[in-house]
Amino acid sequence: MSLRRTLIALPVALAGAAALAGPAAAAAPATGLIHVDCVGNGKACTARVNLAGGASNLRVAVVLKKRGMRLVSAQPSSPSLAGSYAISDQVRRDFDKEYVFTLNAVEAAPSGSAVVLKFAAPAKKQKATIIRCKGNAEECVAKVPIGGGASNRKVVVQLPDTNMALASVTPNRSSLEGAYSISNQKLRTGGSEYVITLSAVQGTPAGSYLKVAFEQAIL
């Protein structure tokens, strides 16, 4: 009797799971979790999750090729499926080796329908840009390049003295006003280094830079 109940309880959504083409296909009870392999390598992989027949609060775990891979995009296998499914409650588990979410899809989704999830390796941590502030213990200027843009770039300005303070930041071109931002400023290494996080719009002309001026701090 218990076996018969189990078979009857299988949802319509899972009947379509077996029809999904490719190695990523999987099926499981709606109350459980289906596992879908992300096909590819540690740099990039793709998971196809079945939509055929619909799904109702179905939990899906994408098994990643490498720990910490990030979701790049989630697109339906056909443009006609746009708006016919929803992904929610995304979490990571198993030490960042699985990407888990809840899937809902309309019952009318035809055979072969799928949502295609693409993952990529996490971006490598950028090395800090180290720039020497040219001058003396009374005043100095550091030229920080921003040509081509920047995204949360860490910049370390090496100061000639430990008793200096930021005086001004100006671009070498007036047209660059408002095209950059500086945040997370702090002194470190006993005051001999000034650290900032720099962002600048993409397409900033080559040769563009910021003049970051320091002067002797008034005690």
Asked if pLDDT for residue 4 goes beyond 80, the answer is no
pLDDT band for position 219 (50/70/90)? low
Asked if pLDDT for residue 14 goes beyond 80, the answer is no
Q: Give me the pLDDT at residue 29, please.
A: 30
Q: Using alpha carbons, select from 217, 218, 210, 219 the residue that is nearest to residue 161.
A: 217
Asked if pLDDT for residue 58 goes beyond 70, the answer is yes
Q: Give me the pLDDT at residue 197, please.
A: 94
Average pLDDT of the chain? Answer: 84
Give pLDDT tens digits for 172-202: 999 999 899 999 999 998 889 999 999 999 8
Give pLDDT tens digits for 144-160: 999 998 888 999 999 99
Is the alpha carbon torsion for 13, 15, 17, 19 positive or negative? Answer: negative
Lowest mean pLDDT among 30-39, 137-146, 182-191: 30-39
In this structure, the number of other CB atoms found within 10 A of the CB of residue 98 comes to 19
129-146 average pLDDT score: 96
DSSP string computed for 13-56:
HHHHHTT--STT-----TTSEEEEE-EE-SSEEEEEEE-TT-EE
Report in angstroms the alpha-carbon separations of 71 from 55, 65, 117, 211: 21, 12, 7, 38
Q: Give me the pLDDT at residue 217, please.
A: 87
Which contacts (CB < 8 Å, 24+ apart) does range 168-174 have? 168/211, 168/212, 168/213, 169/210, 169/211, 169/212, 169/213, 170/210, 170/211, 170/213, 171/146, 171/208, 171/209, 171/210, 171/211, 172/143, 172/207, 172/208, 172/209, 172/210, 172/211, 173/205, 173/208
Give pLDDT tens digits for 90-132: 999 888 899 999 999 998 889 999 999 999 988 777 788 999 9
In the three-class reduction of DSSP (H, G, I as helix; E, B as strand; rest coil), residue 159 is classed as coil
Give the tokens for residue 195: 């650290």
1-27 average pLDDT score: 33
